Structure 1
Amino acid sequence: MDEQPEPVQAAGPALDRRAELSEFLRTRRARLKPEDVGLPDFGRHRRVPGLRREELAQLAGVSVAYYTRLEQGNGRNVSAEVLDSIARALRLSNAEHAHLTHLAKPKQHKKKPAGRTQQVRGGLRQLLDSIDTVPAYVVGRRTDILAWNRMAAALFGDWGELPAPERNWAHLVFLNPRYRELFVEWDRKASDIVSYLRMDAGCHPDDPRLSALVGELSVKSEEFRRLWATHDVKEKGHGIKRLQHPLVGELTLSFETFRLADDGEQSLVTYHAEPGSPSAQALRLLASWGTDATRAGTQASAP
């Protein structure tokens, strides 16, 4: 498929970086118990779940006043060393550590405009078209689906038939009923999508299109609101997805994500099946049916 136009969304207010930092630290602290980090718990009544601020400050080796200011969203002049200590105390994953750094110490160098149009290189589009047995697509900022091949359309549905703003994984997963049926483990897919958006928001809180997307999903999906409030972040470069395709039935596919070296905001995602498996046979059927499979699949899964 050729590169598709950038989804057009009404601009939304920028996300509040200080509020994001405050809530992220608060939710990470709340998930820890004293016994989790080797502190004594004397059975005293706790007004809030998890560690107290003074306990976290003790673990991180900073003053309570300093940590309190940070948790209130004031990350000005905080050093990388202090952030590392707090990340260790909170038992943050690598993705969470990176997210904390983005929120507390935003990069000062000149960045590409947050709302810029995302372009897919011509050579990459040609590569997609040449891969005729493996579903593959390019995903960009805000989980926008930027380009895809014929096999991806046969597997996921023809995104070219959707309005531009709906060619977005978050929009599809939370607002399109077909994708709730397509993903066998829909809850896991939904959680992954929100985590990706959280990471994006940490890097680009001033992106009006991201703010508009989050606002729309928050209004229209109670499940999105619940997951967004957890402030969970993670990165997943590979894994397994189980799909219930309307034509070929259940498939178990492995996916691989390749971040582009010349544009870290875009990734090439591919899906493949274990050789000789029923899922591999199902993919071969989809490849042989081509466009007919895409059209039939859309009709079969229409409400």
Structure 2
Amino acid sequence: MKLAAFDYAAPRTVPEAVAVLADGGRDVRVLAGGQSLLLEMRLHRLSPDLVVDINGVGGLDRLDVNDGTAEVGALVRHDVFDSPRAVPGPLGTLLALAAPNIAHPPIRARGTMVGSLAWAHPASEWCAIAMALDAVIRLRGPEGVREVPVRDWFLGPFTTARRPGELLLSVRLPLLDAHTGVGFLEHRRTHFSFAQVGVAVALAVRDGVVEEARIGLANCADRPVRAYAAERELNGTEVGHSFVRAGRVAAEQDAAPLAEPYADVEYRRQVIAVLVARTLRQAAEGAPQ
């Protein structure tokens, strides 16, 4: 199916991009990887008036590690994180565990982490990790640069706190303490399906006790979810003692799953409970004791 007609802009700098995006009164979309946008345009579910291609904007492809954070630019591709060496420590391991779950190699070679955060698909792996780690999103608009904590970013399916005319510049993720074990698991109906449930875990452990648990859930509600209630079940407990209980709490208190054609709500809650417990065990096995 052919795409509907649209105007096209290819700015070379961030100020140029912001100026083009600030041209109000039209449906304007940003093209980075385009792996979601172009499909929706091809299916005529989206018909923007203007597509702003930022692939020529300098500096947005940087991945900077300093001051205890990894800052991922808007043009850093998914496949950069196939290697755990892309980012030092447990954070790099967590990103490398999640990356192979994203579509397949050609998609990972073009799509971007920041693009996933902008698209805000409830099943997105990067969105779940961002929630688990309290990421911070940087944007620039007509009024300058602002930062949005990820807990305030996702407003619903495919809906974010981005304002008209703003360009996402980067996302900052905290580097994880050396005592942290990480895990990432998904359950999906077929290899090419979106995850019915995805779980990201960072588990800080000292002397066999959980110091801090961080759990992000994908496709467990109409937006990515931080499993705060499950985390409270874990903090201060012996490793492994409360994993099953935390899984049940995540399924019943943190998640709000919707029925799907191949999975009703009861089934999805059971999957969440089991997968959270398994991912916690995966993280605990990788945590230095």
Higher relative contact order (CA 8 A, sep 6+): 1
Q: Which has more radius of gyration?
A: 1
TM-score (norm 1): 0.25
TM-score (norm 2): 0.26
More helix by share: 1
